[in-house]
Amino acid sequence: MKTALSILAAVVIALGVQNTLFSDNTSRTVSQQPAYDRVLKTNTLRCAYAVFPHFLEKDPNTGKLSGIMPSLMEEVGKLTGLTVEWGPEIDYGDIALTLQTGKADLFCTGIAMTPSRGRVIGGSTPVAYAPMAAYVRANDQRFDNAPDKINNPSIKIEVNEGDFSEEIAKRFFPKATLVYRGPTGGESQLFLDVAMNKADVTFSGPSYLSIFNTNNPDIALRLAPFNQTIYAVPVVLAGEIREEALLRMIDVALKDIINNNVMDKLLHDALGQDYAVAYFPPKKDI
């Protein structure tokens, strides 16, 4: 009898450990309050964020946030009657965990929603569409209107691990050789490594190219012209994947903002010369 009880206890413990180790990492703890309930109770929407050109800038001296998304969320706050509270500042790799653990209600800088991200993160209605383009050295014309030439083992594509640059490369150019940028340097490192001949091509948005070329005129890159866009991704506010009620509430405000030309004006004012090439405005319902 004692042996049977010991075996039973061992099985229970083993199952508990297995559930801990192999449970879906998007599950919320039992005690955690859903973000939608918390937002309605406090009348406050907590926005995690990361600095991203044009979309969210942070003054290094004052810490003040500016850009497309702070202005957009100010409009969302007015329409919903919610107070928008910014923080914490996080890395893009920490978005899912931050939302799952309730440290923020939304990630409000916006993310490019790809199918792989859609497995673990929920998204709002798109606030823009970002076309991804190929960038090469100024004198390199090998891929002009010939993207198929990139799909070759002799061609090196510079990518960010786990980012959509990697996703595009693997999906559309599976035969090419991938070169992963280092852990520091940010998005500009992709361009720098191409300029320094460490890779032949990289994928990113036009906004980053404009910034890189302004700061590095002697090694400026150019966009490789293709007959059509390689890939375009929707830019969305990110929420915990089970927070449908919160995302739908935010969607109502976003659609009002889009349908009444506010989103288009925010993009135009912030992007300047990059408007209409860096991002496509979302379609209106009316």
Indicate which CATH number applies to the domain containing 177: 3.40.190.10
Q: Has residue 72 got a pLDDT over 90?
A: yes
Q: Has residue 245 got a pLDDT over 90?
A: yes
For 103, the domain range is 35-129+232-274
Residue 88 banded pLDDT, cuts 50, 70, 90:
very high
In this structure, are 91 and 123 located in the same domain?
yes
Range list of β-strands (E), 115-160: 121-123, 128-137, 156-159
pLDDT value of position 30: 33
Residue 218 burial (CB count, 10 A): 5
Residue at 285 is within a domain = no
In this structure, are 224 and 237 located in the same domain?
no
The span from the CA of 199 to the CA of 130, in Å, is 23
User: Which region among 11-25, 111-125, 228-242 has the lowest average model confidence (pLDDT)?
Assistant: 11-25
pLDDT value of position 206: 67
The span from the CA of 194 to the CA of 187, in Å, is 12
Residue at 114 is within a domain = yes
Residue at 212 is within a domain = yes
Residue at 11 is within a domain = no
In this structure, are 225 and 101 located in the same domain?
no
Work out the mean pLDDT of the chain and round it to a whole number: 84
pLDDT value of position 15: 32
- Residue 78's Cβ-side half-sphere holds a number of Cα atoms within 13 Å equal to 8
The span from the CA of 233 to the CA of 67, in Å, is 20
Residue 267 burial (CB count, 10 A): 24
Q: Has residue 239 got a pLDDT over 90?
A: yes
Q: Residue written as tokens 């969320």? A: 73
CB burial of residue 20 (10 Å; 0-12, 13-18, 19+): exposed
The span from the CA of 80 to the CA of 255, in Å, is 12
Count of domains in the chain?
2
More reliable by pLDDT, 286 or 265: 265
Contact predicate 20/58, CB 8 Å: no
Per-residue pLDDT tens for 101-119? 999 999 999 998 888 889 8
Residue at 51 is within a domain = yes
Give percent above pLDDT 90 in the chain. 59
User: Which region among 19-28, 63-72, 260-269 has the lowest average model confidence (pLDDT)?
Assistant: 19-28
Residue at 21 is within a domain = no
Q: Has residue 146 got a pLDDT over 90?
A: yes
Residue at 5 is within a domain = no
User: Which region among 61-75, 82-96, 112-126, 172-186 has the lowest average model confidence (pLDDT)?
Assistant: 172-186
In this structure, are 99 and 116 located in the same domain?
yes
Q: Backbone dihedral region of 201: left (phi > 0), alpha (psi from -120 to 50 degrees) or beta?
A: beta
pLDDT value of position 163: 74
The span from the CA of 54 to the CA of 267, in Å, is 9
pLDDT value of position 253: 97
In this structure, are 125 and 74 located in the same domain?
yes
The span from the CA of 212 to the CA of 196, in Å, is 13
Give percent above pLDDT 70 in the chain. 84
pLDDT value of position 187: 75
In this structure, are 124 and 252 located in the same domain?
yes
In this structure, are 155 and 212 located in the same domain?
yes
Nearest to 73 by CA among 98, 106, 36, 40: 106
Beta bridge partners of 235: 112, 128
Q: Has residue 186 got a pLDDT over 90?
A: no
More reliable by pLDDT, 151 or 6: 151
Q: Averaged over 117-137, what is the pLDDT?
A: 91
Contact predicate 245/122, CB 8 Å: no
Report the interhelical angle of 68-80 vs 244-259 (nearest 10°).
Answer: 100
In this structure, are 218 and 136 located in the same domain?
yes
In the chain, the N- to C-terminal Cα span, in Å, equals 73
pLDDT value of position 210: 79
Residue 220 banded pLDDT, cuts 50, 70, 90:
very high
The span from the CA of 66 to the CA of 214, in Å, is 21
Residue at 258 is within a domain = yes
The span from the CA of 136 to the CA of 25, in Å, is 39
In this structure, are 110 and 158 located in the same domain?
no
Contact predicate 117/95, CB 8 Å: no
In this structure, are 161 and 195 located in the same domain?
yes
User: Which region among 41-45, 199-203, 261-265, 272-276 has the lowest average model confidence (pLDDT)?
Assistant: 272-276
In this structure, are 47 and 119 located in the same domain?
yes
195: Cβ–Cβ under 8 A, 6 or more apart, which residues?
Answer: 137, 216, 219, 220, 221
In this structure, are 138 and 209 located in the same domain?
yes
